[in-house]
Amino acid sequence: MNGTEHGRTFKGRWSHPTSTAQSNQSGTVNLMLSADQSGFSGSWRWANGIPGGTWTGNCLHSP
């Protein structure tokens, strides 16, 4: 994943290499860091723009 951060918002692209028989999977991602910096939530899309789902997680370390 790579992208840019603006405040608590991260916007970027993700990619996941697959087997040689398939093309790489990739798309866009928009994440928001929680106010207390303990986690994040957001959504991702496939490269063709079709919504993929949500991403949530907890941070292991606070900055």
Give pLDDT tens digits for 11-59.
999 988 775 555 668 999 999 999 998 899 999 999 999 999 999 999 8
CB atoms within 10 A of CB 39: 12
Using the predicted structure, report yes or no on whether residue 62 has a pLDDT greater than 60. no
pLDDT given at position 19: 58
Domain containing 52 equals 2-58
Residue 35 lies in a domain: yes
- Considering its fold, how many domains does the chain have in total? 1
pLDDT-derived band at 8, boundaries 50, 70, 90? very high
pLDDT given at position 6: 95
Residue 19 lies in a domain: yes
Residue 63 lies in a domain: no
39-to-18, 51, 57 alpha-carbon distances in Å: 28, 22, 5
How far is Cα of residue 32 from the mean position of the Cα atoms in its chain? 10
pLDDT given at position 16: 83
